[in-house]
Amino acid sequence: MKDMTSNIFSDLEACYGQLISWCDLLEAIADFLPCHVDERLCETITVGLVPLLATSHQLEERLLCTGLGLIMNDEEFSEADQRRRASRLLDYDAAQEVVETLHSLQGGRCTLSWDAVGYQLRSFFGSMRRHIRSEREIMGLIKKAMATGGSGPVTSIVATKAA
């Protein structure tokens, strides 16, 4: 059971690593606008960004949202869970907008100014980096709670969902 939880932590961390890499690429694009944007790079991000974000959100739901019960009381849990769900919806919408903008840049039909494109990209990768940093802090707290308690909601919910 702990191996399964470790795998989910590892999978989520791998998603975060890829998202951070793509944030770095988006930052490079924003830094060098209005230069030519590499079409292969845009294609890679436009094809993979939303699915990668969806996967990381699913893993967060499976592990982190359920694990909040190990580190928070019921009232705190409810409020934190609602905030985190709303945040994920905003992240998803922002990712879709970034994908649409990159598609339009690829096709040479972007109607946004270069400043607007740069602002949109910076807004997305800044928000995404903050989200990941926050989730990693929560992961650390949950791992610590699991190490000291062992059989809380996280391990039982992860096992139930895997079955």
Backbone angles phi, psi at 25, to 5 degrees: -65, -40
Angle between the N-to-C axes of helices 114-149 and 2-32, in degrees from 0 to 180, rounded to the nearest 10: 160
What's the CA gap between 97 and 57, in Å, rounded? 17
> Using CA atoms, how far apart are residues 157 and 66, in angstroms rounded to an integer?
7
Higher-scoring residue by pLDDT: 144, 96? 96
DSSP conformational letter for 37: P
| Residues belonging to the chain | 163
66 SS3 class: helix
d(CA 84, CA 76): 12
Q: Which amino acid is at 91?
A: D
Question: How many Cβ atoms sit within 10 Å of the Cβ of residue 66?
Answer: 22
User: pTM of this prediction?
Assistant: 0.82
- Cβ contact 47:122 at 8 Å: no
Residue 163 has pLDDT above 70, yes or no: no
Count Cβ atoms below 10 Å from residue 57 Cβ, excluding itself. 20
The pLDDT value recorded for residue 2 is 54
Domain with 151, as residue range(s), is 2-162
Q: What is the pLDDT of residues 84-131, one digit of tens each?
A: 889 999 999 999 999 999 999 888 888 999 999 999 999 999 999 999
Per residue in 41-83, pLDDT tens? 888 999 999 999 999 999 998 887 678 878 888 888 888 888 8
* Domain total of the chain: 1
CB atoms within 10 A of CB 75: 8
pLDDT attached to residue 159: 39
